[in-house]
Structure 1
Amino acid sequence: MSIGGPLRRVMGGRDPGEEHRVSTPLELLFDLTFVVAVSQAASQLHHALAEDDLGPGLAGYAAVFFAIWWAWMNFTWFASAYDTDDVLYRLLTLVQMGGVLVLASGVEDAFDGDFALVVAGYVIMRVALIAQWLRAAAEHPAGRPGAFRYAAGVAVVQAGWIARLWAAGVWEPVTFVALVAAELAVPAWAEARGNPTNWHPGHIAERYGLFTIIVLGEVILGTQSAVRAAVTDRGLSAPVLLIAIGGLLLVFALWWIYFTGADGGLTTLRTALTWGYGHYFVFASLAALGAGLEAALETTEHHAHLTERGAGLAVAVPVVVVLAVLGLLHRLTGTGAVGHGPLVAGGALAVLALGFSPPVLGLGGAVLGMGLAVALTLAANIAVLRRRTGGQGAARGATSPVS
């Protein structure tokens, strides 16, 4: 490789069976720009929870997080198939990184109903991706039909997002749902005919795992900042300490659940798309967990308009969603610490019940109880996996969930 990377490489499809395929430094740098966007979305959700403005807050969060997740996912899958790491590829990735930062700058406005800056950032990212797909079509004859369909599909939907800026009244949610459906349909349509895109199953799994760790890091950072603010204001209290311990236990147990278990495989396009699309709920819920923990800490210090039960549910509901979705995805791919479906369901129900319990247990006791419930769910599933595999598999600890 030349100094600073090659000037130009032909964009041919990469080998989906390539050994030792790992995330590149450019992909890791790209992910860091999304840290900013995720942090902004979680911060605005935290403020909405603290003000007990749940409906509009959740709607804004779901919309903004879709843009964040979908742009990241599309880059990730394209890179898995066509990463040339030459100058043009790097420069187009730089444009997408700039789009992420523009989008992040517009998150606060989006929660107030103004999506102009978010759409601008999103379109910048998508235009750069269209250029990448057109380059792939020009330089990779075997993948040309699919690459052209991707470019055309992405371009049409972006025109729809721009036109939606003038939608008003009932047409705002209607057009949003329609455009989300169109975005999700593009990969299935593009891959429907001809040669499939040469994405690498192990590389895709690693990329999702790394982004999961990034989001969990945001949860830890946001919670630590809220704990520090509470301690600075009134000193360390028992509820603050219990929430901090319970929050850390939740993060660690959910990480362990995600990364533990026997290796499996994204063997078909349908399985891969289900895995990828399901991660919207995983990523969004993990980031929402951080917002819930921050809101819970503010509630204990009487700095929020949220009730204790509302704060408990703000922590419990994201955890329940993560457990439910990971349970389904890991059953689909034969991975993860899901030894028995009812054990996962039981753990989720216990966490939900604890979300209603702050009037009895106190908010700190409820959050600590949730952490213990998820830890017990993990332990029970690992015990089943150990028995099923004779002590192997689950004993390997944290591994890539799909390879």
Structure 2
Amino acid sequence: MSNADGLRMHRRMTARDTGEAHRVASPLELLFDLTFVVAVAQLVVQLAHGIEGGHAAEKIGPFLMVFFAIWWAWMNFTWFASSYDTDDVPYRLLTMVQMGGVLVLAAGVPAAFGDQDYRAVTVGYLIMRVGLVAQWLRAGFEHPHGRATAWRYAAGVSVVQIGWLIRLALPEQLGVASFLVLVVLELAVPPWAERTGSTFWHPHHISERYGLFTIILLGEGVLAATYGVQDALDARGVSGDLVLVSAAAFVTAFALWWLYFLEPAGEGLSVNRSRSYLWGYGHYGVFVALAALGAGLEVAVADAGHHVEADAMILAYAVALPVGAFLVLLWAVHAVLASRSQIRPVVILPAAALVLLVPLLAETVGVTVAVVLIAFLCVLVVAVTLADQARRARLAAEVQPSGTQ
């Protein structure tokens, strides 16, 4: 439904056409994403402070937990919107409710990291889920063909949300176990709901939405590196290390962007709709790696300007681990959809292994050199992948004439 149709007070909520031409993200979806910029930024800053203070291990758990809430809420809205975006007044208002929930969640991030206090995060998540459940109930009432599936979604989301509220009353020692149980239940809702019939999501729209969220997370890395530069300039001023590590941070982000968009997923999703769960769920790892990279780059840049408490190897691993995880998981999510992906394991897996070995040199060569080496390996992966892509295209062109004679 195009914006040219004009805003209406109410449109009957029916399934969107899965083959709709030129389906792109709506302005409302782009505004929705902006609230997640705030939430992810809060998360990245808190993780960076933990790494810089030598408490990285203590902050990983809260980081992964809160990021799951952010990612899952974003993903649920995205797939619902791909199927049922009516862009009328009720739809916009319920989306605004979900956006408000994101902002409440973002405000609770410091308490979650500092005091293991997840009350504000849980309240924000509750607000988001109320908006989503209302959307599913509306879809069930107004779209009879998808009613059973929509109402299953509404019921499943509601029941699991009650579990999140109960979790607040549990003893602290059950925090991680209860979180994992609820995550499994959250992930189980879509497959259970869609046993009565698949929703009508648009493959190219979903691919674009995931690409936009990837750009948001890469942007957080660039922003985090900028914070690190500001911190370093305040402490010591411009130095050779600061210039090198800042440039390496930017190059790393750019190389990962290049790799992610080397092979758009829209076509693969359109012919492998049954594998969308593996592809979509696998992006939790892709996205969380990019968010963690932002924190690692911020601390690495800050270290170039002044000494931080964490040792050099830890600082280097704060960059290497996210990059290595991103490379492996990017190959994995592409492999789910395509038998002959442009992201080839013979290139990606050795590169990821080398990236993870670089921090072992950090105590000798320094954090700046380690980050530069990681950036170099990312650039090398892009170069080798592009060269391989060109080679295969050339071979295919050479074979084509003989096959048509």
Query: Match of 1:96?
Result: 98
Q: Which residues of 2 match residues 116-127 of structure 1 at below 5 A?
A: 116-127=119-130
Q: Deviations over 1:129-177 (max 9, x none)?
A: 0000000000001000100100000000000000000111432111110
Q: Which runs of 5+ in 2 are unaligned?
A: 398-405
* Range that drifts further, 270-279 or 206-215: 270-279
> Which of 277, 293, 310 in structure 1 is aligned with 2:297?
293
Aligned residue for 1:108, secondary structure, equals: helix
Letter in 1 for 2:302: E
**TM-score, structure 2 normalization:** 0.93
2:88 maps to which residue? 86
Q: Which residue of 2 aligns with 1:377?
A: 381
How far did 1:392 drift?
8.6
Q: Is the 8 A contact 2:331 2:343 kept in 1?
A: no
Equivalent position SS for 2:366: helix
CA contact (8 A) 1:14 1:82 kept: yes
Alignment of 1:51-62 (within 5 A): 51-62=53-64
Aligned to 1:390: 394
Q: Which residue of structure 2 lines up, in the alignment, with residue 70 of structure 1?
A: 72
**Is 1:44 aligned to 2:49, yes or no?**
no
* C-alpha contact 2:334 2:343 (8 A) present in aligned 1: no
**How many angstroms apart in 2 are the aligned matches of 1:376 and 1:104?**
36
Q: Which residue of 2 aligns with 1:275?
A: 279
**Structure 2 CA distance, aligned partners of 1:269 and 1:130?**
24
The answer (yes or no) to whether the contact 1:320–1:349 under 8 Å persists in 2 is: yes
Change (3 A) 1:368 1:260: same
Distance 2:263 2:305 in 1: 40
Paired with 1:292 and 1:332, the residues of 2 have a C-alpha distance of 29
Distance of 1:21 and 1:207 partners within structure 2: 11
Q: Is the 8 A contact 1:343 1:381 kept in 2?
A: yes
- Using the TM superposition, give the Cα deviation of residue 314 of structure 1 relative to its aligned residue in structure 2, in angstroms: 0.5
Q: What one-letter code is carried by the residue in structure 1 that aligns with 2:20?
A: E
Cα distance in 2 for partners of 1:37, 1:303 equals 28
Deviation at 1:225, TM superposition (A): 2.0
**Conservation of the 8 A alpha-carbon contact between 1:259 and 1:336:** no
- Mean Cα displacement is larger for which, 86-95 or 167-176? 167-176
Alignment correspondent of 1:325: 329
Query: Superposed, which structure 2 residues align to 1:15-26 within 5 Å?
Result: 15-26=17-28
| Aligned position for 1:141 | 144
2: distance between equivalents of 1:27 and 1:196? 22
Aligned equivalents of 1:314 and 1:348: distance in 2?
A: 14
1:3-14 to 2 correspondences below 5 Å: 5-14=7-16
Question: 1: CA distance between counterparts of 2:8 and 2:37?
Answer: 28
Give the match's secondary structure for 1:357.
Answer: helix
CA distances 1:268-296 after superposition (whole Å, capped 9, x unpaired): 44411111111111111111111001112
Residue 247 of structure 2 corresponds to 245
In structure 2, the CA distance between the partners of 1:153 and 1:268, relative to structure 1 (3 Å rule), is farther
Secondary structure at the residue paired with 1:265?
Answer: helix
Instruction: State the partner residue of 2:177.
Output: 174
Amino acid in structure 2 at the alignment position of 1:157? V
Counterpart CA distance in 2 for 1:316 and 1:113 is: 27
1:257–1:336 Cα contact (<8 Å) kept:
no
Q: Which has the higher helix share?
A: 2
TM-score for both structures, normalised by structure 1: 0.93
Amino acid corresponding to residue 275 of structure 2 in structure 1: T
Question: Matched residues in 2 for 1:58 and 1:241: separation?
Answer: 29
Output the CA distance in 1 between the equivalents of 2:263 and 2:309. Answer: 41
Matched, 1:164 2:167: yes
Q: Work out whether 1:187 is the aligned partner of 2:161.
A: no
Between the aligned partners of 2:390 and 2:136, the Cα distance in structure 1 is: 45
Q: In the superposition, relative to structure 1, how do residues 87 and 114 fare at CA in structure 2: closer, same or farther (>3 Å)?
A: same
How many pairs are equivalent? 392
Q: Confirm or deny that 1:206 pairs with 2:203.
A: no
Query: CA 1:391–1:224 in 2, change beyond 3 Å: closer, same or farther?
Result: farther
1:367 aligns with 2:404: no
Distance 1:116 1:280 in 2: 23
Distance 1:190 1:385, change over 3 A: same
Equivalent residue letter for 2:296:
G
Distance 1:107 1:220, change over 3 A: same
Match of 2:403 in 1: none
Q: Report % sequence identity.
A: 48
| 1:225 aligned partner | 227
- Separation in structure 2 between the aligned mates of residue 366 and residue 2 of structure 1, nearest angstrom: 51
- Helix, strand or coil: the match of 1:325? helix
The residue number in structure 2 matching 1:151 is: 154
Post-superposition shift, 1:304? 2.0
Query: Offset at 1:4?
Result: 6.5
Distance in 1 (CA, whole Å) between partners of 2:136 and 2:254 is 38
Kindly report which structure 2 residues correspond to 1:345-360, keeping only aligned pairs within 5 A, or say none: 345-360=349-364
CA RMSD of aligned residues (A): 1.8
